[in-house]
Amino acid sequence: MGVILDSHLTLNQHISSIGKSYFHLLCHIRSMLTEDMVKSIAVAFVSSRLDYANSVLFGTSTTNRYKIQRVQNNLAEIVLNDSVLPSAIVLRQLH
């Protein structure tokens, strides 16, 4: 797990690394899995990394918050197998 720290404590590298390697895998195996299975994998690999570093990410830049939101939106699209931007209600249900 862990958090990637840089010399300025911006957490840019950490946020950029969240989900990078897992999105490709999830996209390719999505059609073979049920929604519950994909949801479990997404939470295990990506959301858990967001939650784990939650306290460290407090007060991060607006740019980083947008990146985190994009990660969550992309995960929701993969889980739901739909490219429509997920609403806050859907994101809450998936969490």
pLDDT tens, 15-53? 777 767 677 777 788 888 888 888 888 777 776 777 777
Residue 27 within any structural domain of the chain: yes
pTM of the model: 0.69
Q: How many domains does the chain have?
A: 1
Residue 20's domain spans which residues? 12-94
Residue 32 within any structural domain of the chain: yes
Split at pLDDT 50, 70, 90, the class of 55 is: confident
Residue 5 within any structural domain of the chain: no
Closest CA to 15 of 70, 75, 64: 64
Distances (CA, A) of 49 to 10, 18, 32, 61: 17, 7, 24, 18
Residue 80 within any structural domain of the chain: yes
